[in-house]
Structure 1
Amino acid sequence: MKKEENIVVGVSIGDLNGIGAEIVLKTFEDPRILEFCTPVIFASVKTMNFVKNHLKMQVNLNGINNLNQILPQKINVFNVWNEHVKIEFGKEDFKIGEYAIKSLEAATNALKNNSIDVLVTAPINKHNIQSETFKFPGHTDYLEQELQGNSLMLMVANSLRVGLLTDHVPVKDVAKHITPKRIKEKIETIYHSLQKDFKIRKPKIAVLGINPHTGDNGVIGTEDDKVLRPTLESIKKTGKLVFGPYAADSFFGSDNYLNFDAIIASYHDQGLIPFKTLSFGQGVNYTAGLDKIRTSPDHGTAFEIAGKNLADNSSFKEAVFKAIEIYKNRLEFLEISKNPLKFNQKKI
């Protein structure tokens, strides 16, 4: 198993006019974190030095032009570009969006080639990244195309884990996207992720309803009774501990969420509003279901405070530690799978 300090954490820099570069530098300026991993920031030394100097931060950067030059105990910056980049904090800029995608593509290629072990993505602006060559609503959809597996957005804060049946889908289209096939795929994804990424052998999963009060027996919509409930019943017959659908309005307020290893919400805000309320800025966005590990903070570019040295890096730091933890859990899961008898003997 790799030593912690040798786990190489790749970082895509996100929108340079936002708080991404600030929270990245604030995280790695603490030398203690370099005892847990070796960071590689995909941007340029010129750009990162500009941000560092603007924020008056005391941090040393190790510029590299080849991923074979990565040094432990250093904050490595892989030069994806060499030209000067005009940064205007707080401004939406399509040119800056292009650099965000350059960073993401370079980091993803490094992940695919095993030059880095995990990927942590700083926030992007979903509008200014759109182009003729990049037409994805966010990181998750792009990474699902580039990496193997079926992705699922899983928000994590300690023992609270909230996954989504649909993520960046307009509310008016949510119900038509929730099909028996999608429900089965997403539950399968989260079930196996809980086992290999979070070391939970027999996960308990709750599913939230689509309509208010799960439809009230058809009075407020029939999707819960006709689609969600029968699909969950068929999944239960396979031996999985899956429960629901639960009425979403009272599920978190009643502390019922504490009885489960993960909760699957039907749509974005149904899951993320209670998650972000309960996680107090410590949440992590994890893309479950892929053959590689990617995490990110649970917030956006925060243009309104960009460049003012006001950004809280807590969520980004948690994303780094969560990526390392999941990487180690996957190695252990692989070892157990290869030799379960040996593992069981150790536990006796």
Structure 2
Amino acid sequence: MNLFLMCCLFLFSGMPECESPQQLAAANAMDRRILMAVEQCLDAEGSLQEILEQTRAVLQDRLARLDPAWVQRHPDCRAEDLDDLWTEVHRLEGMQTLHQRGRQACTDTLERISRRQEKMDALHPADAPVYAADPVPEAMIRGTAGLPAAAGGAAEESSWDAWLSVVCPAFDVSGLRAADAFVHPIPGAYVSAGTWSYPGGGLHLGLDLAAPLYTDVHAPADGLVLYQSAGQPADSGYPGNQSGYPGGAGNSILLLCPVQNRLYSVALYHLSDIHHVRPGQSVRQGDVIALSGNAGNSTGPHTHVEICELTMSLEEAVSYFLDTADFSFGTGWDTPGACSQMACRMRPEQLLPAS
């Protein structure tokens, strides 16, 4: 354990300064991975201070017994017992010093990550997103006739389907239930950017929910998975990175969700590469459908949420998406609150409960 902490501290201290957005993002990704490992190690030793205090108390008791008069009355007292106790105290004190250095290194690393993110923002200020990209065919829904077994269709990979039905229980599309209201996709996340504009200006068509890497992302309502792609590394984001579909989304999921008497599309971007659903699957409200990430056009771990209210049936929406792979349902990518013949963009803040 001590050797592991020492290696991590060495890596913390040896991270070079970078200049390009790609280098800054890669350095932050490395720091975050080391940070997670060190914090897990330190948490595992959380009772170290208590152990040290107990050992010192025992030592003080032993020292009191070394009073010359006491030793004279107890000639059978063994000095090596006291030596062993001193050795244990010194070992624990050394571990405590190392852990204090680890805690300080974690604090310094978080500050360094924050400085790099500020530099990335300065090098590539927020502007209108560029969503030009080609969808991945295997990431699209294949239609209700070809649903996997977990959603009521023929089994292609029985072991996968059995695992999937446990992680994220599914059911036939005909059983979709209209929820009374949305639930929050990432409870405990905080809003790092609201809908229609970034804090510093620039078009922003959704809500950014900041949360640590690999945080559970829940289905906000019962829904059907129209698109699901996890081809990018979980922590590979940087400003201007146009990977994924739509371009810059990194890893994405698109759901159709009936809520009350309305139908919504819910798009989730910048996810990790760990997804628990696939195209054509139906999900229940609250199911864990993916883990959060930092992929695509992103400067730090968060999930971007876009919601459109649709003016068509679920079957019509599926058919339209099969023909177009259009996440925006005709509303485009350059106008806040835009409407088309099929949908209107909504502010997720008005539909999702507080986290």
Q: What TM-score do you get using the length of structure 1 for normalisation?
A: 0.22
Q: Between Structure 1 and Structure 2, whose CA radius of gyration is higher? A: 2
Q: What TM-score do you get using the length of structure 2 for normalisation?
A: 0.22
Greater length-normalized contact order (CA 8 Å, ≥ 6 residues apart): 1
Which structure shows the higher helix fraction?
Answer: 1
